[in-house]
Amino acid sequence: MSKKILVIQGSPKKDGNTAILVNWFAEGAKDKGAEVEIINVADLKIKSIGCNSCRACQKSKEYKCVINDEASPIISKMAEADVIVMATPLYFFSASAQIKVIFDRMFALYKWDNKTGTMQTVLKGKTFAVISSAFEDVGLDVLEQPFKLTADYSGMKFASLLIPNAGVSGDIKDKADIKAKAVEFGKKIG
């Protein structure tokens, strides 16, 4: 059975380094027989700048965000995927705002019982990966940490493809060694 991979692409540049890495990753994953869906968050109509802490998702038996916008179906798709990949450029030692909106709204994929101190999540057993590039070689380790911690907390396997010294937007397309790494990462995940 092929893996279902959901790639959440968080760069506003459709032809930038992040988009190029995602396409190379998808090429490798598809070569291994995976089904890959890529969603560009910058194209979505989003009402909220992140989780608004309404906690309505905690009152529902379903694992979904109740905010009625184009980000909510992505949260539901995350629950159905075998692999969730978040792809983002490094912006000021962190993920892009586009990825952060989706990342924060993942709150809906957890059910906490504060009285018993327990948590359940539909993410347990999935693979969570991050793909990111940076202009220079500073900050990718900091960007990776929230994703890695989330995977550990949620009982997910974690993987990352971090590309330092990628250059300005689009420069990566001429770097065959990086393409090989991204394709291989896709094969490994797929």
Reported as a single tens digit per residue, the pLDDT across 121-154 is 999 999 999 999 999 898 999 999 999 999 999 9
pLDDT value of residue 65? 82
Average pLDDT over residues 157-186: 93
Structure-derived torsion over alpha carbons of residues 141, 142, 144, 148, reported in degrees to the nearest 10: 110
Copy the structure tokens of residue 142. Answer: 């900091």
48 vs 182, more confident: 182
- What domain range is 17 assigned to? 4-189
Domain count across the chain: 1
Considering the chain, what is the average pLDDT of its residues?
A: 92
H/E element, 157: strand 157-163
**How many helical (H) and strand (E) elements, i.e. helices and strands, does the chain have?**
6, 7
Cβ pair 130, 88 in contact under 8 A: yes
SS3 48: coil
Residue-wise pLDDT for 70-125, tens only, equals 888 999 999 999 999 999 999 988 899 899 999 999 998 999 888 998 999 999 99
Own/partner contacts of 49-58, CB < 8 Å, gap of 24 or more, are 49/101, 50/100, 50/101, 50/104, 50/105, 51/104, 51/105, 51/107, 51/108, 57/107, 57/108, 58/111, 58/112
Separation CA 37–CA 178 (nearest Å): 22
The amino acid occupying position 126 is K
CATH assignment of the domain containing 161 = 3.40.50.360
